[in-house]
Structure 1
């Protein structure tokens, strides 16, 4: 009971801070995402045992140049190398090897392409045609919450077939399907009642959120399993680290960014 109360209070504070920063202004959103990126980067370097200051020097530089000076062509190039890293991690997820990353260059590469660049795209995702659209982020968070909640509920009550037992023993295929279906329903409702994007676009975004959000959660779980740790940190009492809370969001963001800014 005490743990449930702790988890609830922690989650409420996190939600209030996140939503307030999103809605208040583009500046407050940028500052919060930069802070989240720094914390997640610190937690990730602990998981992969990477004791080097280079990523923490590159993070503010990436944020500054990404927000102020970078051209659309350069941004597209960074998006491409980020997506390639994501696809490599999805491929690596299905390999039984537990040695990745082991080399210095692989750890540095992951810090940049798995953490820093996705957070850069999360920061710039709601900036559409030079206008800040905060509800784009809020709706995506709602889709993630819907997918996670119904994957848990359906999996707990009807789940029989393990989705990826080697990495996450509690996830089931039935749970994934449940989260996927309810995400589509909520995507339809968002598109129907929202003036931001069409119904079809929000349903496509819901598919991206459900599929790549699940992969993002599994990939972070594999990193933790390789490091033999339960949580990425202790910053959120009852929940673990911030990386544990944001693994789906920042992993799926480059794919949503690609769709919203270049394909839609």
Structure 2
């Protein structure tokens, strides 16, 4: 019970800070997620046993040139394509290899096209038609938190069939389905509250959040298993490190960004 209370208080504080930053100003939003990305990167570098100042330089450069001041849209398009391929390779390694090769080799590829790109596209998502729309990224975070919460509650109380036991013994099929149904249900609420996207698109985002968010969580679990640690850090009591809290959104944000870009290209102004 005590662990649940600590976890709840820690989670509420985190949610309050994130939501507040979104609606105060774009600059505060960017600054907060730059700060979160620096902390998450430091946790990730320890996890993969990489000591590097270059990784932080890459992070700052990516934030400035690809997010805060987009110097070339084509560069962003190239970045999303490579990032999606790297993420899909991580999925392949999750399912069909005993160890993720990028954990031991090509670590900078993982750093730049998986971890850093997750934050970059997370900060690019709320930009629609050159305008910052905090309700959009706020709605996506609500779906992420809903998915995590329902998956945890359903899995803890009703979970029996393991989802991928060799990677994450506590994750269950029932928990995954609970998170999926919970996020879809909340997509109706987000749609009615924001009136930004079509209901069909919010449902699609809920599916992406649940499926790719769960994959991101499992990939992080496999990284931790290879590193031989339980949590990526200790910053958030009851949750572990920031990487433990953000692993889902880091992995799924490039897919959500790509979805929104494709829909906008196919049906301009129709999202």
TM-score (norm 2): 0.92
Q: Distance in 2 between matches of 1:153 and 1:169?
A: 16
State how far apart, in whole Å, the 2-side matches of 1:102 and 1:40 are. 16
Flag the 1:56–1:165 CA change in 2: closer, same or farther, 3 A.
Answer: same
Aligned 1:201-212 pairs, distance under 5 A: 201-212=201-212
Q: RMSD of the TM alignment (CA)? A: 1.5
Q: What residue in structure 2 maps to residue 92 of structure 1?
A: 93
Distance 1:162 1:40, change over 3 A: same
Q: Name the counterpart of 2:82.
A: 81
The separation in 2 between residues aligned to 1:103 and 1:167, in whole angstroms, is 18
Matches within 5 A, 1:1-264: 1-66=1-66, 67-98=68-99, 100-101=101-102, 103-104=104-105, 106-264=106-264
Aligned equivalents of 2:70, 2:136: Cα separation in 1: 24
In structure 2, C-alpha distance between the alignment counterparts of 1:47 and 1:96, rounded to whole Å = 19
> Which SS does the other structure have where 1:240 is aligned?
coil
Residues 220/81 of structure 1: CA separation in 2 closer, same or farther (3 Å cut): same
Instruction: Give how far 1:236 is off.
Output: 1.2
Distance 1:62 1:111 in 2: 12
3-state SS in 2 of match to 1:97 = coil
For structure 2, list consecutive stretches of 5 or more residues without a partner in the other structure.
Answer: 265-271
1:106-144 Cα distance to aligned partner (Å, 9 max, x none): 111111111111211111110111111111111111111
1:99/1:74 CA distance change after superposition, 3 Å: closer
SS at match of 1:94: helix
1:238 CA displacement: 2.4
CA distance in 2, matches of 1:250, 1:219: 11
Equivalent residues of 1:212, 1:252 under 8 A apart: yes
In 2, distance between residues paired with 1:33 and 1:192? 27
Aligned length: 263
User: In 2 relative to 1, CA 157–102 (structure 1 residues): closer, same or farther, beyond 3 Å?
Assistant: closer
Shifted more, 173-182 versus 18-27: the winner is: 173-182
1:193 and 1:25 map into 2 onto residues whose CA distance is: 20
Change in Cα spacing, 1:80 to 1:200, as seen in structure 2 (3 Å) is same
Change (3 A) 1:69 1:144: closer
Deviation at 1:22, TM superposition (A): 0.9
Aligned 8 A contact 1:232 1:240 in 2: yes
Asked if the contact 1:191/1:201 (under 8 Å) is kept, the reply is no
**Separation of aligned partners in 2, 1:226 and 1:92:** 13
TM-aligned CA deviation for residue 44 of structure 1: 0.3
SS of equivalent residue, structure 2 residue 166: coil
Q: CA deviation at 1:7?
A: 2.6
Q: Could you tell me whether the CA contact under 8 Å between 2:136 and 2:194 is conserved in 1?
A: no
Shift in Å, 1:242: 0.2
Q: Note the C-alpha offset of 1:99.
A: 5.5
Give the corresponding residue for 2:267.
Answer: none
Quick one: distance in 1 between partners of 2:100 and 2:178?
A: 33
Structure 1 runs of 4+ off > 4 angstroms? none
